[in-house]
Amino acid sequence: MQSRYRFTCAWLADGWHRNVVISVDPEGDIVDVSADDTVTAARMINGAAIAGMPNIHSHAFQRAMAGLVEQRGGKDDSFWTWRETMYDVASRITPDCLNGVAAQLYADMVKAGYTSVCEFHYLHSPGDASGEAHSHEQRLAMSQALMDAASTAGIGLTLLPTLYQTSDFGGAPPTERQRQFSMETREYLDLLDALRQSSQRSPQLEVGVALHSLRAVPPESLRAVLDSQRNGQPIHIHIAEQEREVQACLERTGKRPIEWLLDNAPVDRRWCLIHATHATPAELQSVAAAGAVVGLCPTTEANLGDGLFPMETLLEAGGAFAIGSDSHISLSPIEELRWLEYQARLARRQRGVLTDGKLSGGALLWQKACTAGARVSGRPIGELTAGKRADVVVLDMNSPLFAARSDDSIIDTFVFSGTSESVRDVMVGGRWLVQDRRHFAETAVAAGYKRALQKMFKRDRS
Ligand SMILES: [Zn+2]
């Protein structure tokens, strides 16, 4: 039995239409989108429907430290000092805590308009086991905690178990703290195999590959993993976030990280290069030519002082980008998108910098991030059309913010001036998870989150 919904207006691949009926089958797939109003027996939804946004980069546990690292830690405060606090938080995590933190995070993402998430997951053992070798069962339990959290919140999940082996270029062994993340290549491939069996059971779950970074994955391990993965699943990697790692890569290999990767790996449309922050124009030309997606997380990159990504250069080269909330200092797709444009404006001292000459600014950012984000999520999402998952964000057109707005000015107003209040309802995989700004499980999820944080930080108070 199909469900049919008639929206006041909807943004489809060919632009805005009024009176759009979207039909969804019981599996949660869109089976028909019709812009004529002869379809009867559809439930009326008073609002503007747009495709939900894929969040392409998340480290769920880091939500627990949002706001805890804003006191200046001396004149050299940087990504590298922030990382010490992150390791401390990681050392407090159990599968239970991870589940509690991630369920709240994912529910909050859905309320903001993210309908799927790529979880770049390197916390392979409970923090209290740090220093000891971890077992396959422990690794499975940590992954399962995330899969259960996604299922509780209802968000689509691309789980990216992450390979992490060394603390720097040249095969330096992991530090004591990093042992919680590290494993042998064989153990990693076993974990992938086990998790893929779960993913075959749900259209809401995909399992891809993540290589933590070139500093954490030696070339021989990178090749072994890539040789074993030829089935089209997404491959994500942190690539050039910090100038220090670009320098280390140059010293060790004679090449910059993006340059080295393109020369040594079969980079193609499956690949998502997270934080390609320090990229030269030539590198971005090559990334665009390979069809890879650049994964940007502007609020985290700003919070960590990473540097400005040359977005205009990527777009001029015809390159694709998607967005993620990464450390979750902010959970808002519109904030990530507007900062891409604002960074470019501040650098150029001009307005309206990111453009393709066709779409308006907000529309261009939302549509391109949706399309490329879907591709590197490895799931059929990112567009309101037959054959895709029914992931729909409904904007509240009764809000004063949207008065006298139509077509692309709706999405421009949402991206540049919207707040968390602008999203009224959210459907994921055919289920209404958020109605009237309430997530169906928010009370239970909030209680679980508070319990998890009390457990994680209790030793600070005793
Ligand atoms: Zn990351």
pLDDT tens per residue across all 462 residues of the chain: 899 999 999 999 999 999 999 999 999 999 999 987 666 778 999 999 999 999 999 999 999 999 988 877 666 778 888 888 889 899 999 999 999 999 999 999 999 999 999 999 999 998 876 556 789 999 999 999 999 999 999 999 999 999 999 999 999 999 988 889 999 999 999 999 999 987 788 999 999 999 999 999 999 999 999 999 878 899 999 999 989 999 999 999 999 999 999 999 999 999 999 999 999 999 999 999 999 999 999 999 999 899 999 999 999 999 999 999 999 999 999 999 999 999 999 999 999 999 888 899 999 999 999 999 999 999 999 999 999 999 999 999 999 999 999 999 999 999 999 998 999 999 999 999 999 999 999 999 999 999 999 999 986 654
| 100-127 as b/e: b if 16+ CB within 10 A | bbbbbbbbbbbbbbbbbbbbbbbbbbbb
Q: What are residue 438's phi and psi, to 5 degrees?
A: -110, 125
How high is the pLDDT of residue 190? 96
> Residue 26 CB: number of other CB atoms within 10 A?
9
How high is the pLDDT of residue 74? 67
The answer to whether the CB of 46 falls within 8 A of the CB of 398 is yes
Cα–ligand 1 centroid distance for 45 (angstroms): 37
The answer to whether the CB of 166 falls within 8 A of the CB of 178 is no
How high is the pLDDT of residue 117? 98
**What one-character-per-residue DSSP string does 159-199 give?**
EEEEE---SBTTTBPPPTGGGGT---HHHHHHHHHHHHHHH
Cα–ligand 1 centroid distance for 6 (angstroms): 39
Cα–ligand 1 centroid distance for 311 (angstroms): 19
How high is the pLDDT of residue 121? 98
How high is the pLDDT of residue 357? 84
How high is the pLDDT of residue 269? 96
Burial class (CB in 10 A: 0-12, 13-18, 19+), 44: exposed
Residues whose CB falls within 8 Å of the CB of residue 103, separated by 6 or more in sequence, listed in order: 148, 149, 152, 153, 441, 445, 448, 449
User: Residues 275, 278, 328, 439: which is the catalytic one?
Assistant: 275
* Domains, the chain, with CATH or none: 3-51+384-443 (2.30.40.10), 53-377 (3.20.20.140)
How high is the pLDDT of residue 81? 81
Cα–ligand 1 centroid distance for 341 (angstroms): 21
Cα–ligand 1 centroid distance for 441 (angstroms): 27
407 tagged catalytic: no
Cα–ligand 1 centroid distance for 136 (angstroms): 23
Cα–ligand 1 centroid distance for 280 (angstroms): 21
Cα–ligand 1 centroid distance for 325 (angstroms): 9
Cα–ligand 1 centroid distance for 59 (angstroms): 6
Cα–ligand 1 centroid distance for 198 (angstroms): 24
DSSP 46: E
Cα–ligand 1 centroid distance for 249 (angstroms): 18
How high is the pLDDT of residue 39? 67
Q: Give the separation between CA 316 and CA 356, rounded to whole angstroms.
A: 9
Q: What are residue 77's phi and psi, to 5 degrees?
A: -55, 130
How high is the pLDDT of residue 396? 97
Cα–ligand 1 centroid distance for 295 (angstroms): 10
How high is the pLDDT of residue 1? 87
User: Residues 108, 306, 326, 396: which is the catalytic one?
Assistant: 326
Question: Any alpha helices (H) in 241-379, and if so which ranges?
Answer: 243-253, 257-264, 281-290, 298-303, 311-316, 333-348, 361-377
Cα–ligand 1 centroid distance for 229 (angstroms): 22
Measured in whole angstroms, how far is the alpha carbon of residue 354 from the centre of its chain?
21
Tokens of 8: 């006041």
Tokens of 87: 């390791």
Half-sphere exposure of 389 (CA within 13 A, CB side): 28
Cα–ligand 1 centroid distance for 431 (angstroms): 29
Instruction: Report angle CA 269, 270, 275 to the nearest 5 degrees.
Output: 90
Cα–ligand 1 centroid distance for 238 (angstroms): 6
326 tagged catalytic: yes
DSSP 326: B
Cα–ligand 1 centroid distance for 357 (angstroms): 32
The conformational region for residue 195 under phi > 0 = left, psi -120 to 50 = alpha, else beta, is alpha
The answer to whether the CB of 120 falls within 8 A of the CB of 274 is yes
